[in-house]
Chain A
Amino acid sequence: MHSDQMQLNKTPLAWLLLSVFAVVIPHARHLSVWVILAVCLIITWRVQIFRGRWSIPKRWTKLILVSGSILGLKLLYHSLLGLEPMVALLITSMVLKLLEMYRQKDAMAVVLLCFFTTAAQFLFGQTALDFFYGLFCSLLLLATLVSLNRNGSRQTQNNLAVGLRLAIQCLPVMLFLFFFFPRIGSLWSVPLPQNTAKTGISNVISPGDISRLAQDGGKAFTATFNNTIPTNEQLYWRGLVMSEFDGRQWSLNRWSSASAGGIVKWQGQSIKGRAMDWYNRAQRESKPIEYQIILEPTQQQWLYALPLADLTLGASGTTRDFTTIYHTPIAKRLVYRVESTLSYKIEPQQLPSWFRQRNLSLPEGYNSKTVAMAQKWRAEGARPGQIIDRFLSMITRDYTYTLEAPLLARDSVDDFLWNTKAGYCEHYASAFVVFMRAAGIPARVVAGYQGGEKIEDFIQVSQADAHAWAEVWLEGEGWKRVDPTAAIAPERVRSGVRAVFDRSVRNPLSMEAYRHIDLLNRLRLQIDVFNYRWQTFVLNYNSDRQLSLVQKIFGAKNLWQMAFMVSSVIVLCVAIFVLLAYLKQRPNALAPEIKAIRRLEKKIAKLGLVRRPGETVSQFLTRAGHRLPRQAKSLQEILLNFEKVTYQNQPQHLTALKTQIEQFKAR
Chain B
Amino acid sequence: MFWPSLTALFNRHFNRFLQKTIPRQASVSLSQKKLFILPTKSGWFFLLAALLIWLLGTNYENNLALALAYFLISVFLVSIIHTFKNLHHLHVRLTGSVPGFKGDATDIKIQFSSKSKPHYGIATGWPKQSSSVVDVAAKASTDAVVSCQLQRRGWFDPGRLKIESSYPLGLWRCWSLIDLDLELLSYPRPLECEMASMRPDMESSQEQGSVTTEGNEEFENLKAFKPGDSLKHIAWKQHAQGRGLFTKRYSDHHGQQIALDWSSLPGKDLEERLSCLCYQALRVSKTGQPYSLQLPGQFIPASTGPAHLQKVLRSLALYASTEGTMAGNA
Give me the interface of A with B, judged by CB distance under 8 Å.
1-4, 104-105, 108-109, 112, 115-116, 118-120, 122-123, 126, 130-131, 134-135, 138, 142, 145-146, 148-150, 152-154, 156-157, 162, 166-167, 169-171, 173-174, 177-178, 181, 183-188, 190, 192, 332, 538-539, 541-542, 585
Alpha-carbon distance A169/B60, docked complex (angstroms): 28
Give the complex CA separation of A145 and B82 in angstroms: 13
A116, A188, A192 pick with most chain B CB within 10 angstroms: A116
CB-based contact B68/A1 at 8 Å: no
* Closest A residue to B48 using CB positions: A112
Q: Contact size class for B? A: 35 or more
Instruction: Tell me if B69 and A108 are in contact (CB < 8 A).
Output: no
B121 touches A150 (CB 8 A): yes
A153-B133, A153-B135, A541-B63 known; A187+B58 contact, CB < 8 A = yes
Most chain A CB within 10 A, of B65, B69, B118, B134, is at B65
**Subset of 14 A-B contacts with CB under 8 Å:** A116-B52, A123-B56, A123-B65, A126-B64, A130-B64, A149-B167, A166-B75, A170-B71, A174-B73, A181-B70, A184-B58, A538-B63, A539-B64, A542-B61
Question: Is the beta-carbon distance between A126 and B63 smaller than 8 angstroms?
Answer: yes
Query: What residue of chain B has the Cβ atom nearest to residue A149's Cβ?
Result: B170
B121 in complex: contacting residue of A2, A4, A118, A149, CB < 8 Å: A149
> Could you tell me the distance in whole angstroms from the C-beta of A366 to the nearest C-beta in chain B?
47
A421–B49 Cα gap in the complex (Å)? 63
* B-side contacts of A145, CB under 8 Å: 168-171
Alpha-carbon distance A31/B67, docked complex (angstroms) = 24
Q: State whether A108 and B49 are in contact (beta carbons under 8 Å apart), knowing that A2-B130, A3-B166, A119-B68 are contacts in the complex.
A: no
With a CB–CB cut-off of 8 A, which chain B residues contact A126?
A: 62-64
B123 touches A1 (CB 8 A): yes
Main secondary structure of the interface of A (DSSP, over half): helix
Whether a CB of chain A sits under 8 angstroms from the CB of B74 is: yes
**Distance in angstroms between the alpha carbons of A173 and B78 in the assembled complex:** 9
Complex contacts, B69 vs chain A, CB 8 Å: 119
User: Across the interface, do B121 and A152 meet the contact criterion of CB distance under 8 Å?
Assistant: yes
Beta-carbon contact of A153 and B134 below 8 Å: yes
Given A1-B123, A585-B32, A150 contacting B45 (CB threshold 8 A): no
Which of B46, B52, B60 makes the CB contact (< 8 A) with A190? B60
Contacts of A192 in B (CB 8 A): 60
Chain B residues 14 to 51 lying within 8 A of chain A, measured CB to CB, are 32, 40-42, 45-46, 49
A174 and B67 form a contact (CB under 8 A): yes
- Taking a contact as CB atoms under 8 Å apart, the answer to whether B68 and A138 are in contact is yes
**A145 vs B72: C-alpha distance when bound (angstroms):** 13
Bitwise interface map of B from 165 to 198 toward A, beta carbon under 8 Å scored 1, else 0: 0111111000000000000000000000000000
CA distance A184 to B61 in the complex (A): 9
Which residue of A has the minimal Cβ distance to B167? A149
Interface SS of chain B: helix
Q: Considering the complex, give the chain A residue whose CB is closest to the CB of B123.
A: A1
Which residues does chain A contribute within 8 Å of B72, judged by CB atoms? 115, 138
Q: Tell whether, in the assembled complex, residue A108 and residue B170 are in contact, meaning their CB atoms are under 8 Å apart.
A: yes
- State whether B53 touches A119 (Cβ < 8 A): yes
B63 interface neighbour in A135, A167, A539, Cβ under 8 Å: A539
- Bound complex: CA A559 to CA B242 (Å): 103
Complex interface: chain B residues within 8 A of A105 (CB): 42
Q: Top 10 A-B pairs ranked by shortest CB distance?
A: A152-B133, A173-B74, A122-B64, A177-B70, A170-B74, A149-B170, A153-B135, A112-B49, A119-B53, A145-B169
Binding site for A on B (CB under 8 A): 32, 40-42, 45-46, 49, 52-53, 55-75, 77-79, 82, 118, 120-121, 123, 125, 130-135, 166-171
Closest chain A residue, CB of each to CB of B129: A2
Q: Are B59 and A1 in contact (CB under 8 A)?
A: no
Say yes or no: A178-B121 contact (C-beta < 8 A), given A3-B170, A146-B168: no
CA distance A152 to B132 in the complex (A): 8
Chain B, Cβ-Cβ closest to A137: B68
Further contacts, 15 of them, CB under 8 A, given A152-B133, A167-B71, A173-B70: A1-B133, A105-B42, A108-B45, A115-B72, A120-B56, A123-B62, A130-B64, A138-B68, A142-B75, A142-B169, A150-B168, A169-B78, A173-B78, A174-B73, A178-B70
> What A residues does B166 contact at CB under 8 A?
3, 149
A122 and B133 contacting across the interface, CB-CB below 8 Å:
no
Q: Which residues from chain A contact B123 at a C-beta distance below 8 Å?
A: 1, 3, 152
Distance (whole angstroms) from the CB of A329 to the closest CB of chain B? 16
Which residues from A are CB-within-8-Å of B71?
Answer: 135, 138, 167, 170, 174
- For residue B160, give the distance in angstroms from its CB to the closest CB of chain A: 18
Q: Taking CB as reference atom, which chain A residue is nearest B71?
A: A174
| A-chain residues with CB within 8 Å of residue B134 when the two chains form the complex | 153
Supposing A122-B68, A166-B75 touch, asked if A115 and B53 sit within 8 A by C-beta, the answer is yes
Residue of B nearest to A192 (CB): B60
Evaluate contact between B65 and A119: CB separation under 8 angstroms: yes
- Selected contact of B62 from candidates A122, A157, A585, CB within 8 Å: A122
Asked if residues A116 and B49 are in contact (CB atoms below 8 Å), the reply is yes
Residue of A nearest to B131 (CB): A1
A123 near B60 with CB under 8 A, answer yes
Residue of A150, A166, A188, A539 near B120 (CB, 8 A) is A150
Q: Provided the pairs A149-B121, A538-B63 are in contact, do residues A186 and B58 lie with their beta carbons within 8 angstroms?
A: yes
A196 CA to B130 CA in the complex, in Å? Answer: 52
Residue in chain A with minimal CB distance to B165: A149
Least CB separation from A189: chain B residue: B59
For residue B32, which residue of chain A has the nearest CB? Answer: A585
Contact B74 A157 (CB under 8 A): no
Q: Are the C-beta atoms of A154 and B133 separated by less than 8 Å?
A: no
Alpha-carbon distance between A113 and B154 when the two chains are bound, in angstroms: 53
Chain B residues, Cβ within 8 Å of A3: 40, 121, 123, 166, 170
Q: Within the assembled complex, what's the spacing in Å between the Cα atoms of A271 and B78? A: 56
Is B59 within 8 A of A149, CB to CB?
no
In the bound complex, residues from chain A placing their C-beta under 8 Å from that of B170 are 3, 104, 108, 145, 148-149
Query: Which chain A residues border B133 with CB–CB below 8 Å?
Result: 1, 152-153
For the complex, give the distance between the alpha carbons of A120 and B59 in Å.
12
Smallest CB separation, B53 vs chain A (Å): 4
Set of chain A residues within 8 Å of B70, measured between Cβ atoms: 173-174, 177-178, 181
Bound form: Cα–Cα A190–B62 in Å: 12
Of all chain A residues, the one with the shortest Cβ separation from B31 is A585
Chain A residues, CB < 8 A from B171: 145
| Residue contact A4 to B168, C-beta cutoff 8 Å | no
Report the bound CA distance from A166 to B73 in whole Å: 12
Residues in A neighbouring B58, C-beta threshold 8 A: 183-187
- A138-B68, A174-B67 in contact; A185/B61 too (CB < 8 A)? yes
- Look across to chain A and name the residue whose beta carbon is closest to the beta carbon of B45: A112
Q: Which residues of B contact A154 (CB under 8 A)?
A: 135
A507 shortest CB reach to chain B, Å: 27
Q: Given contacts A119-B53, A177-B74, are A188 and B168 in contact (CB under 8 A)?
A: no
Which of B66, B132, B135 lies in contact with A1, CB distance below 8 A? B132
Return chain A residues, CB-CB under 8 Å to B118: 157
CA distance A122 to B74 in the complex (A): 19
**Is A153's CB under 8 angstroms from B120's CB?**
yes
B42, A108: Cβ atoms closer than 8 Å? yes
Of all chain B residues, the one with the shortest Cβ separation from A585 is B32
Partner of A149, one of B46, B132, B168: B168
A186 in contact with B74 (CB, 8 Å): no
Inter-chain CA distance A585–B32, complex, in Å, is 9
**A105–chain B nearest beta-carbon distance, Å:** 7
Contacting residues, chain B, for A185 (C-beta < 8 A): 58, 61
Q: In this complex, what residue of A is CB-closest to B55? A: A187
Contact of B167 among A109, A119, A150 (CB under 8 A): A150
**Looking at A105, A134, A153, A538, which has the most chain B CB atoms within 10 Å of its CB?**
A153
Chain B residues with CB below 8 A from A166, complex form: 75, 78-79, 82, 168-169
Residues of B within 8 A of A135 (CB): 71
CA distance A152 to B55 in the complex (A): 35
Most buried by A among B55, B57, B64, B130: B64
Cα(A538)–Cα(B82), bound, Å? 30
Q: How far is the CA of A183 from the CA of B61 in the complex (A)?
A: 9
Q: Would you call A146 and B169 a contact (CB within 8 A)? A: yes
